[in-house]
Structure 1
Amino acid sequence: MEIKVLGTLDAVQNGASIAPTASKPRQLLALLALQSGHVVTASTLLDELWGTAPPRSALTTLQTYVCHLRKRVETAGHPAVKDVLVTTYGGYLLNVQEVAVDVHSYEHLAERGHRALEAGRLEQGSDLLRSALGVWRGPALSDVRIGIRLAMEVTRLEESKLGVLEALMNADLRLGRHQVLLDELAKLTEQHPMHENFCAQRMIALYRCGERRRALEAYRLLHDNLIDRLGLTPSERLRRLRQAILHTDPGLSVPA
């Protein structure tokens, strides 16, 4: 079985799709997949599917959705369907190998990448983080209705992805790859116009490429966005970076 959540929801068993088309069963599969190997309580699933006001028939309907999922897995040729979607005391467990769900592959690669950077292995860390990002195919669960519980999971994953991007950009800057990062950082600052770290990284990359004026323009754009949207100014760190660029600080050159 292979389940993908980092993009549209996709679930395949023996080459056949087992992903339901109906909205709530898709939510159910998505939450079970994100928590694969762990019991998800019935109350958690009810919160996801119906929020704070479940109907009287909610528990019975949930059991129907589970049966529907099992039927799809069985139809796809799994010989022991109840060993895959397990009923436990108070909940359900999706019993698949970690490698079967793309989110676990992403998190494993990201963790290895961060550890490599902490150990000073910049090239290895950069490669691992890029591999982790390569697992993503788009926004997490982009075609699934998101309830209370999935919203928390999606937020966690998107924040994790931003952290990986920040670490990757920083590693590549330390490796002197500022030229190849320009387009990527331009897109990131466009997508996240108030993200100070991406702005700082773009300013450094532009400065090292001889684009001092554009580096200062990037700061001004961040400044204006923060003022207009939040009534705030850039942090002291960003202001110091701007001053360093204005004074051609040798500390901004590529590290040896």
Structure 2
Amino acid sequence: MLGTLSLCEAGISFMPTAAKPRQVLAMFATHADRVLPVATLVKELWGDTPPPSFQTTLQTYIAHIRSHLRAALLQSDEHRHRSPKDVLVTHPGGYLLNTGGGSVDVREFERHTFAGYRAMDSGDHVVASRKLRSALALWRGPALADINAGPLLRLEIQRLEEARLCAVERRIEADLHLGRHREVLSELTVLVRQHPENESLCGHFMIALYRSGRCGNALEAFQRLRGTLIRDLGIEPSAALRELHLAMLGGASGLDLAGLRTMRPGPHRMTRAAS
């Protein structure tokens, strides 16, 4: 799911080519090993106005997916005895995609990120950087990039992309703790342009620039963010970011140290810009 959707049984893909069955299969993938109610599938496919024939249409999509599953199972000597209904299981009121203990990239991503966050909290930035890099390496592009998403899948895609961005922010924070400011500078240059209102990324960018001897550019980054927040939201940057800005204006030597605690802004206090 962390890229184009790909599902395999015994190493053999059973992805259909038709858009609607792929959308249904994406829903099963996001609810792997859990019963997915028919009502939830209907909401994803047709919103609040399903057609009169929605039950028949949905059953046609399920049959289409199972036919692809059957073809994949027949190609595997090890799994030839399994039925498509053993993988895509019918339950009262819904269906369940049975992974049989197989690998799900979203689960692997979450496992690595949680380990990285725990390492960050304990001050082990080497492990944190390594775990978060492993998590981010699982991504092959935007989440479910080849799926025509309805309202529920769009929410799931948004959740996954936000989790990805959080992992990127924390990995860069770990790298800054390790003195890797020059290594992350080019990455941050792109990220702050993609997320012009993100204060954490701006703070990381300012520190990387400042430590690289580019104090003027660091101060310019703060002013760009401040201008964006005032123009679009009518608020000032957070207290943490303003303190970082003041420290740079004062030429604080501590910001050059690799062991500095990166100033990661907390919850934004709504400081309104002066009119």
- Is the shorter-chain TM-score for this pair beyond 0.5, marking a shared fold? yes
| TM-score class normalised by the smaller sequence | over 0.9
Matched residue SS, 2:64: helix
Partner residue, 2:187: 184
Which of residues 203, 209, 227 in structure 2 aligns to 1:206? Answer: 209
Pairs within 5 Å for 1:76-87: 76-77=72-73, 78=79, 79-87=82-90
Instruction: Report the alpha carbon displacement of residue 227 of structure 1 after superposing the two structures with TM.
Output: 2.5
Q: Does 1:249 align with 2:252?
A: yes
Contact 1:36 1:98 in 2 (8 A): no
Q: Distance in 2 between matches of 1:185 and 1:97?
A: 40
Once the 2 structures are TM-superposed, how far is the Cα of residue 107 of structure 1 from its aligned partner?
Answer: 1.1
Q: Which runs of 5+ in 2 are unaligned?
A: 74-78, 260-275
Q: Which amino acid aligns with 1:190?
A: R
2:123 maps to what in 1?
120
Q: Which residue of 1 aligns with 2:76?
A: none
- How far 1:120 sits from its partner (Å)? 2.1
Equivalence for 2:61: 65
Structure 1 residue matching 2:136: 3-state secondary structure:
helix
| 1:23 and 2:19 correspond | yes
**2:200 is the alignment partner of 1:197:** yes
Q: 1:42, 1:231 → 2: CA distance?
A: 44
Q: Which residue of 1 aligns with 2:218?
A: 215
The residue type paired with residue 147 of structure 2 is V
Compute the RMSD of aligned alpha carbons.
1.5
**Residue in 2 aligned with 1:225?**
228
For 2:129 and 2:166, locate their aligned partners in 1 and report how far apart those are by CA, in whole Å. 13
Quick check: 1:94 aligned with 2:97? yes
Deviates more, 1:50-59 or 1:114-123: 114-123
TM value normalised by structure 2: 0.87
| Aligned-partner residue type, residue 105 of structure 1 | E
Seq. identity, %: 47
Match of 1:43 in 2: 39
Paired residue type of 2:13: S
Identify the range of structure 1 (227-236 vs 204-213) with the bigger mean alpha-carbon deviation: 227-236
CA displacement, residues 85-129 of structure 1 (integer Å, 9 cap, x when unaligned) = 000111110000454321111111111111222222211111010
CA distance in 2, matches of 1:31, 1:113: 28
Change (3 A) 1:121 1:97: farther
Give me the whole-angstrom Cα distance separating, in 1, the residues matched to 2:100 and 2:137: 20
State TM-score, norm by structure 1: 0.93
Per-residue CA distance 1:199-251 (angstroms, 9 max, x = gap): 00000111011110110111111122223322332222211111110101233
SS of equivalent residue, structure 1 residue 10? coil
Structure that is richer in helix per residue:
1
Moved over 6 A (4+): none
Q: 5+ residue gaps in structure 1?
A: none
Identify which range, 111-120 or 191-200, moves more after superposition.
Answer: 111-120
1-side partners of 2:107 and 2:224: how far apart?
37
Residue 7 of structure 1 and its aligned partner are, at CA, apart by: 0.9
User: What is the letter of the counterpart of residue 82 of structure 1?
Assistant: K
2:146 is paired with a residue of what secondary structure?
coil
